Amino acid sequence: MKKIKDQVLVIFGASGDLTYRKLVPALFDLYKQKSLPENFVVLGVARSYFTDESFKEKMIDGIRQFAISKDASEKDVNAFSEKLFYLSINTDDGAEYSKLTSRLKNFDEEKGTNGNYLFYLSTPPNLYPLIPKFLAQEGLNEGKDKIRRIVIEKPFGTDLKSAVELNKSLLNDYEEHQIYRMDHYLGKETVQNLLVTRFSNSIYEPLWNRNYIHHVEITAAESIGVENRGGYYDHSGAMRDMIQNHLFQLLALVAMEPPTVIESDAIRNEKLKVFQAMRPLSQVDIQNNVIRGQYTAANVKRVPQKGYREEKGVDPNSRTETYVAMKMFIDNWRWGGVPFYVRTGKHLPTRVSEIVIHFKPTPLNLFVDNKEYCSDGNVLVIRIHPDEGILLKTGMKVPGNGYKVKEVNMDFHYSQLQDTYVPGAYERLLLDAMLGDSTLYTRGDALEFAWKFVQPILDYWETNPDAPLYGYPCGSWGPACADGLIEGENMTWRYPCKNLSDDGIYCEL
């Protein structure tokens, strides 16, 4: 691995939950794996008041609860905490940033960080245009042969217009290669393994096209509701929160052409072509191929669950979607005519994210009289979480007379790699940002094309108050009408369990 330069990681919004639960625990795991440079400093920045010591104490508590290496020795935790510092400033006041510049210069002199700065924006989105501009006013966006990068959490815009405006604002002061748009889904090991599965195995590539694949489905299901995020979620919804970013990024990895090399620009160029090839949806397409839903009150495992409109911070008359299922097409030679089905929802039976490749059935079903086995085609499941792994469903003969066929699972689980350390998503993405590897980050042009695709759907829902919003009980798999999206006789969505190989045997409910 390329050596990481000495540097300062500045986390704006460091008093918040993301820093406490995800960022600092991930940095500690990197420290335990000896992946951090020798001269490395984390500077938390926010309005809330902390001293260096009180910030360290809070972060140590977060490490003990949320790090993969939560059981590390006191010596290791204390040694890492010596790299943690804090600065309280008003982050929407440009005059305050001279304090940050002064603190960074002190680190360069005292800690040997050599003028290399990585800025992470874990803040409300309204600060995304402001903080980078204030940094630029201090000259912290420039430096010959120095690291000057910004990492921005989602949401990157709330619609096409705001995303374009934010991109333009950032590009006034930064080059595209300095901007890292975070999508934590891309940091998951199984997501990255998609490239390896596709492009290192010659058995898949000849089959990975319209000639052999009947359809592709991508699911991201959550078993919980909006919890305490009702105020935010009611202005977002499932389309903005999940489809436009996470699920479209997974779709691009499934559908992209092989890159010429495994490098950031080459991979992101191929992903961009997928977004450019997504067939735009007309109003008729939106009416027929996009289904939105909202969870309603129900008992789940005998425990009463609130409906979405009863959640804290949610408008009692809200028409915000907590579920979306849609059918879409990619108009290029590889995928012409192959439907892609994408769905996401809250308060579904289980928490699971996976990609399912449905291969076409054999031209002639020779075992049509076998009532226990009816092949609709082989299925390849790429499980992102939980129980990460790969599953291939295939027909096998049952021992004995005749040709009794049974569907069996051929699977691999990451949990089987007991002696192999599997890094967390933020751990991998933070390391890449420190290294300057933007492969797993979203490029501005691709992000705008993704927004361009979903914008007509958002506009249609906004301007058509009679557009259907289906209720579905908590603990169900969403509106029943979503099953009608899947083309093919006797075909429907795959209904997975949290255990990758146990589907069809039992599930959580």
SS (H, E, C) 272-339: HHHHHHECCCCHHHHHHHEEEEEEECEEECCEEECCHHHCCCCCCCCCCCCEEEEEEEECCCCCCCCE
d(CA 71, CA 50): 26
246 is catalytic: yes
SS percent in the chain: helix, strand, coil, step 5: 40, 20, 40
| Portion of the chain with pLDDT greater than 70, in percent | 96
Q: Check 246, 347, 358, 385 and give the catalytic one.
A: 246
Check whether 418 has a pLDDT greater than 80: no
**pLDDT, tens only, 183-237:** 888 888 888 888 988 999 999 889 999 999 999 999 999 999 998 888 889 999 9
Check whether 475 has a pLDDT greater than 80: yes
pLDDT tier, 509 (very low <50, low <70, confident <90, very high otherwise): very low
What pTM was estimated for this model as a whole?
0.92
Helices (H), 172-293: 189-199, 230-233, 237-238, 248-255, 264-277, 283-289
Whole-number pLDDT of residue 246: 93
What one-character-per-residue DSSP string does 374-439 give? --S--EEEEEEESS-EEEEEEEEEPSSSS--EEEEEEEEEGGG-TTS----HHHHHHHHHHHT--T
* pLDDT (mean) for 53-73: 95
Check whether 490 has a pLDDT greater than 80: no
Could you tell me the strand order of the sheet in which 84-88 lies?
84-88, 40-46, 7-12, 117-121, 148-152, 179-181
Q: Burial, 442: exposed, middle or buried (Cβ in 10 Å; 0-12, 13-18, 19+)?
A: buried
pLDDT tier, 488 (very low <50, low <70, confident <90, very high otherwise): confident
Instruction: List the one residue out of 127, 128, 131 whose CA is nearest residue 117.
Output: 131
**pLDDT, tens only, 8-58:** 999 999 999 999 999 999 999 999 999 999 999 999 999 999 999 999 999
For the chain, the average pLDDT equals: 92
**pLDDT, tens only, 249-273:** 999 999 999 999 989 999 999 999 9
